[in-house]
Structure 1
């Protein structure tokens, strides 16, 4: 059986060689066959995140300064009191295509995909963007594009020191008191996966902080799903809602019954 795509498309474009059209039963069989590989990839991704949490840390010895909406701030200030910090270097400055109306198209796509930050904050994690544009321009851009993430101005060698002076990238840091450590870095196509809460947490040293994760001994972990909340309802040290505990327990059990080898 052929599809309309195989018969050619309007505008003289070449015909698409589409997959065969099959019965519902054959389609389900094909899906189950592919699902085996997809589950293997999920488990491999979990294992990679576990290895990432065991990477050595690098102490940040230099002092860095940024400009924010309220004035000068340090790298330590960017944590906003939390232990984990993800810094995305976005290109918005003179000389970048789009200036002064827009940031780099690729960096703008990354910005458009950022999930609600309340969920990251609930896991002791802060996400910020940094660029070399002045704060007045950053504020104007954020208002135009509807972006709400904290966005600071680089004023020194931070970008050169952390591999983002010529290309975008995410640097991850951990704060232990007043000491700051670089724990991870990802750029190029690695940035494509960023934006969702889970992918952000998976590149942090503490991970998602749920009990199913393979993390070093003593790392903070809470029962699976139980910390989830509406983004306007997170409260520090709140006890998980009883009804949500029942619902999430039932959902987790259903998935485990279906495939005991599948993690949340």
Structure 2
């Protein structure tokens, strides 16, 4: 582990700084165009029809088609769940805690929800404890989670679905670091001179580095900030 005590970028004149910034901006703009191209390819992906799943919702069993609540598009975040644990995955807890305002998706004919393999009563209690404001569903009694890449005691995932009447299609899936594009936290941290400070990060010699995840807030810290006590 290294600290930031003497880790400073070189000091240059304004002209040199502008030149180096321009070179970086060229790469940033190229990356933006590549992301546009990736999104265009994503819109051209084929899709696969899904069975008529039943999920457990806050007000009773819900058909997958009804989870859309009239919208034609649905984003589903599969929240990791460890049976019998008071505090669930801090990464999932932290990412989903960012989504306090999702009404803008209505303008795009879309909805964004959380599903988890945990029993519904435990899942809803955990949602309340950590101050999460999203709509949660349980797949504890359905194969839905396993079928979309998030089996019991498995990892997290993001899936997108399209509804045509009562028929639902799966259009996109990602997991692992693919979910980073859904959070603004890393985008902001990556703007900082020291970045994420994690050991794997490509940084100048002497830059502060710490074990991966060491600066991530714990689920308890998130609950203290956003849960009933924090609110």
Instruction: Give the match's secondary structure for 2:108.
Output: coil
Alignment of 1:1-264 (within 5 A): 18-60=8-50, 62-95=51-84, 99-100=85-86, 102-114=87-99, 116-154=101-139, 155-165=141-151, 166-195=154-183
Tell me, in whole angstroms, the C-alpha distance in 2 between the residues paired with 1:158 and 1:136: 18
Give deviations 1:38-67, integer Å, cap 9, x for gaps.
00100110011001100111111x221111
Greater CA drift, 82-91 or 111-120: 111-120
Give deviations 1:201-233, integer Å, cap 9, x for gaps.
xxxxxxxxxxxxxxxxxxxxxxxxxxxxxxxxx
Tell me, in whole angstroms, the C-alpha distance in 1 between the residues paired with 2:125 and 2:57: 14
Residue 79 (structure 1) shift: 0.7
* TM-score of the aligned structures, taking structure 2 as reference length: 0.72
Q: Is the 8 A contact 1:115 1:195 kept in 2?
A: no
Aligned residues: 182
| Bigger CA radius of gyration | 1
Instruction: Give the match's secondary structure for 1:129.
Output: strand
Tell me, in whole angstroms, the C-alpha distance in 1 between the residues paired with 2:146 and 2:129: 29
2:194 matched to which residue of 1?
none
Give deviations 1:98-157, integer Å, cap 9, x for gaps.
x22x22111112112325211112211111101122232222222222211110010211
Residues 1:195 and 1:124: Cα distance change in structure 2 (over 3 Å): farther
Q: Which runs of 5+ in 2 are unaligned?
A: 185-231
Tell me, in whole angstroms, the C-alpha distance in 2 between the residues paired with 1:14 and 1:146: 33
Q: Is the 8 A contact 2:100 2:133 kept in 1?
A: no
- Over the aligned positions, Cα root-mean-square deviation in angstroms equals 2.2
Q: Is the 8 A contact 1:172 1:183 kept in 2?
A: yes
Residue 30 (structure 1) shift: 1.3
Give deviations 1:67-118, integer Å, cap 9, x for gaps.
11101101111111100011111013415xxx22x22111112112325211
